[in-house]
Amino acid sequence: MEPTVFERQEKIGREGSALFIAANGVKALHDLGIGPAFGEVAQYQRDGELRTPEGRLLFRLPADLMVESLGHPNACIERTALRRVLLDGAGRGHVRLGAEVVGFEEDGDQVLVRLSDGSTEGFDALVGADGIGSRVRGHVLGDTQARYVGYTAWRGVCETDVEWPKDIGCEQWGRGQRVGFSFLGRGVWGWWATKLVPQGGHDPGSGRAAAVARPFAGWWGPIERLIRATPDERVLRNDIFVRPPDRAWGRGRVTLLGDAAHLMTPDLGQGACQAMIDAVTLARVLKDSQGQHVPERLRGYEALRIPQCELVARRSYKLGRSAHMASRPGVALRNAIMRAIPAGLQAARLRRVIERSMG
């Protein structure tokens, strides 16, 4: 296959945030043939921990459970580093920067793609991988509004030294807010934080990192220090949205991939993973098609992926509601239940979801 990627940005810059790539996402990268390159710049995790703001352990996920099931451990990586791996794997000559798709139409055995410069190009298929505000999705499925889930996420990366094992990721759940952090390799730490706040808020232009860190003052571990060590311009803020599951992602020679198809909350760390599994599945169903029977093959791809992504999105949303519980009695009950359930049983439940999400 000879893909062309239209990217409306003039250049691909650095976005300072951490990405958790679970074992299924790591497997997808190996299936795509770029696993070794990923391994050179990612930080593999030995364990993942969930704790209270006071540091009490609620849950531990040993990496060997995922290795046993999928052949790979979980990992964390800086988003920019993953982007480089993907670009190199695809071949940078296939990516056209400053090329914005503004429309398309089917014409017999091809899709005509219209660009903002007025030009038109034809392809065997069009894959809308254009995110939460996908134009391709709007043309195919109509304007399905995403819904704000009630909490906002902050993310950042910093270069500092903290006393924490570099192969253990950690999250902490409080009342209506949570934080997490992980080493990303090459001296870089990544962190993320979420909090129940109204939609559309803004942070101060200066002192942004300090403002984000303030609600987590006194929390156990290095999280406050990591946030405060982050330059203000590298603190990102995003309201979190979801969409109801769709029964179709495309029509004719057009389909969707990633957030354009299955917008989900980040609570299971599966957004990027599911997008990469989409790519593997799509490549497999189109392999050797030579442009023939493309619509049927795209519907086959959707039939495989829609139920898998719906399962992950549902579990992720449910986990997010639990993580952002705000009442003291509710939080106390949540924590007691998590401590009472054997770690092996909790890990097995998570592993089953991950396994069932594979293409």
Beta bridge partners of 61: 48
Q: Where are the domains of the chain?
A: 1-359
pLDDT of residue 359: 57
pLDDT digits (tens, 9 = 90+) for 193-233: 999 999 999 999 899 999 999 999 999 999 999 999 999 99
Sites in the chain below the pLDDT cut of 70:
359
pLDDT of residue 66: 72
- d(CA 171, CA 42) in angstroms, rounded, equals 19
pLDDT of residue 313: 95
pLDDT of residue 1: 80
pLDDT of residue 227: 97
Q: Which fold has domain 1-359?
A: FAD/NAD(P)-binding domain (3.50.50)
Give the C-alpha distances (Å, rounded to integers) separating 18 from 113, 192, 323: 33, 8, 19
pLDDT of residue 98: 95
